[in-house]
Amino acid sequence: MTTNVPAVDTHVAEPTSGRKNFLNCSSGFMSWAGTLDHKRIGLMYLVGVSIAFLCGGLFALLVRLHLWSPEGALFANADYNQIFTLHGAFMVFLFVIPAIPGSLGNMVLPLMLGAKDVALPRLNLLSFYLWCSGAVMATLAIILGGFDTGWTFYAPYSIYTDKAVVSIGLGIFLLGFSSIFTGLNFIVTVHKLRAPGLTWFRMPLFVWALYATSILQVLATPVLGITVLLVAFERLYNIGIFDPRLGGDPVLFEHFFWFYSHPAVYIMVLPAFGIVSELVSVHSRKPLFGYKLIAFSSLAIAIISFLVWGHHMFTSGQSTYAMFAFSFLTFFVAIPTAIKEFSWVATIWKGSIALNSPMLYTLAFLIIFAIGGLTGVILGALNVDIHLHDTYFVVAHFHYVMMGSIALAFFAGLHHWWPKMFGVMYNETLAKIACGIIFIGFNTTFLPQFIMGSRGMPRRYATYVPEYAPYHHASTIGAVILGLGIALMVYYLVASLFSGKRAMQNQWGGVTLDWHTPTPPPLENFDHSPSVTTEVYDYSVLDLETTRTPAS
């Protein structure tokens, strides 16, 4: 059964019923730049993170093209260092971390809670502007000579290099506080602004996931903030604590950095989990299998993720006992993660599956994340990691989770809520084709990296021995395919804004509160403050009529 076949002809151009929504209720530059509306802020984030993603993607293509030939095809070695650093830093700090909470989270969370806005709208706007200033600082850093430390900024190189580390460091500090304030806002919103009757266990799982993410954002990010500040101080007045020449210990930097950055990988992935939980249910028209398990596993992940940072440092010279403990604890992360994966598959099982584009992206996620997660477990095994550390195996692992899983879940969510946000539908056929191209391109890019990594190809090298050339060729071809797929996606999404068909009020037949408002939502979200009387994901209450009524 598909739910997206309209029963009435809804070709464009029909004048809208004239009711105002958040998009057209006011206009002019300041009505956006100064808005306190969570939906408008969400859209501004969407534009921002998309630009960052496209920049990061461009850098990625440059990296891959350079690696076409063993001597390096495009850049001098030193310039190559800058290109891959730019790619990593843009993708991690400007895209993957803020993307889902900032854009879709802002857009959907208050809707799902039945609230008029997030609890602290001014702070929300501030978060967005902090993000912008972080982006400006990153761009400034490029103008001031770039930076070549890798996205991890390891000391002591980040202290000694003559590049613009201070500028990007301050940029990351600002981005960190942007992320903290978003998290803080969501925690307060979830605690204080749930609609009457919306108990904790009636909250959609996207909300649970964002809640767990927010806890991590608030608790882990300050440590990143002070770490990048200390690196900046180190460069400004040689404080000495990360500088071995001055008695400092660079390994302490690594501890600080990973104390944040391991939880940060869950800051990145938990919102993606939330989207997938939501989508497998809606597009299979079935309540989630193991709702509470999924909710609690998010919290479990949030807690465990604070205890495993040392698995990034198995070759740093930390004590053997610490390595033991970190390796052992790392395996525990796999448990709640696997619980989720099994629950999603069980949800789809015997569901009434609608194979529309959001669902296709979701299925792609399920496959790719299985590989990404399991290779993480392989890397968590101490003895294996000694060999695989700093090889392309690690690169492939984290691209399977960050690009293949998180970015794809973001795309899935974008396709899912696109009709909700704009009241229009993109071209579904093109969407399915693009999803296929992206899936193929992605795997062609990164599967070979597992193989060459396990055969010893080190990461971050500008040149390589010719034996690895076939893998690099495959990878570069894959990257081009992936780039084309993404370009196609951008095309039909943007095109839909100008000539898309009208979407339905409830395009996919969702039953969470976000589908109980007019589409697109009015400025204050609900015409009447909603209250909740049914359990979450109870599809028996679905009013099929809303899936056939065109958006207003």
Partner 1 sequence: MSHDGHHSVVIPAPGPEFQSHTVAHHFDTPVQEFQSAKLGFWLFLATEILLFGGLFAAYFYYHQMYHETFHLGGQQLDWWLGALNTSVLLLSSWTMAMGVRSAQTSQKGKLLMYCGLTVLGAVIFLVIKFFEYKAKNEHGLIEFAHLFDGYNGATGQLSWFTDHDGVMAGVPHGHLFFAIYLTMTAIHGLHVIIGAGLIVWIMKGAAKGRFHAGYYLPVDLVGLYWHLVDLIWIFLFPLLYLVS
What separation in angstroms does the CA of 235 have from each of 163, 313, 321, 448?
11, 24, 33, 39
The single residue among 91, 180, 360, 486 that binds partner 1, judged by CB under 8 A, is 180
30 binds, among partner 1, ligand HEM, Cu ion, none (CB under 5 to 8 A by kind): none
Query: Would you say 88 or 500 has its CB closer to ligand HEM?
Result: 88
User: Residues 509-548 vs partner 1: string with x where CB under 8 A?
Assistant: --------------xx----x-------------------
397 is a site residue for Cu ion (CB under 5 A): no
425 three-class SS? strand
532 Cβ neighbours under 8 A, 6+ residues apart? 114, 195, 196, 197, 198, 202, 513
Q: In which residue are the tokens 């589409």 written?
A: 519
User: Residues 324-343 vs ligand HEM: string with x where CB under 6 A?
Assistant: ------x--xx--x------
| Residue 401 Cβ vs ligand HEM, minimum distance, rounded to whole Å | 4
| Residue 406 Cβ vs ligand HEM, minimum distance, rounded to whole Å | 6
Task: Provide the phi-psi class of 175: left if phi over 0, else alpha when psi is between -120 and 50, else beta.
Answer: alpha
How far is 493 from 511, CA to CA, in rounded Å? 25
The single residue among 41, 187, 198, 268 that binds ligand HEM, judged by CB under 6 A, is 268
How far is 411 from 276, CA to CA, in rounded Å? 11
Residues of this chain, 297-316, that bind ligand HEM according to CB under 6 A: 311-312
187 binds, among partner 1, Cu ion, ligand HEM, none (CB under 5 to 8 A by kind): partner 1
Residues of this chain, 441-500, that bind partner 1 according to CB under 8 A: none
33 is a site residue for partner 1 (CB under 8 A): no
401 is a site residue for ligand HEM (CB under 6 A): yes
- Return the sign of the alpha-carbon dihedral for residues 218, 219, 224, 227: positive
519 binds, among Cu ion, partner 1, ligand HEM, none (CB under 5 to 8 A by kind): none
| Residue 541 Cβ vs partner 1, minimum distance, rounded to whole Å | 25
DSSP assignment of 105-146:
IHHHHHHHHT-SS-S-HHHHHHHHHHHHHHHHHHHHHHHTT-
The reply to whether omega before 244 is within 30° of 0 (cis) is no
389 binds, among partner 1, Cu ion, ligand HEM, none (CB under 5 to 8 A by kind): ligand HEM
Biggest CA-to-CA distance, the chain: 74
What separation in angstroms does the CA of 304 have from each of 210, 318, 374, 508?
17, 20, 17, 35
How far is 424 from 544, CA to CA, in rounded Å? 19
216 is a site residue for partner 1 (CB under 8 A): no
How far is 399 from 64, CA to CA, in rounded Å? 14
Contacts of the segment 34-38: beta carbons below 8 A, 24+ positions apart: 34/125, 35/125, 36/117, 36/121, 36/122, 36/124, 36/125, 37/117, 37/121, 37/523, 38/106, 38/107, 38/109, 38/110, 38/117, 38/118, 38/121, 38/124
The single residue among 125, 385, 404, 434 that binds ligand HEM, judged by CB under 6 A, is 385
Nearest to 403 by CA among 140, 92, 86, 107: 92
| Residue 225 Cβ vs ligand HEM, minimum distance, rounded to whole Å | 19
Residues in contact with partner 1, total (CB under 8 A)?
44
Residues of this chain, 251-270, that bind Cu ion according to CB under 5 A: 262
Tokens representing residue 34 in the block: 């100064």
146 is a site residue for ligand HEM (CB under 6 A): no
Query: Would you say 262 or 502 has its CB closer to Cu ion?
Result: 262
Q: Which residue is at the shortest CB distance from ligand HEM?
A: 376
Interface ranges with partner 1 (CB under 8 A):
36, 115-117, 119-121, 123, 180, 184-185, 187-189, 191-193, 218-219, 221-223, 225-227, 230, 233, 236-241, 243, 245-249, 252, 256, 523-524, 529
Interface ranges with ligand HEM (CB under 6 A):
152, 265, 268-269, 311-312, 330, 333-334, 337, 373, 376-377, 379-380, 385, 388-389, 394, 397-398, 401-402
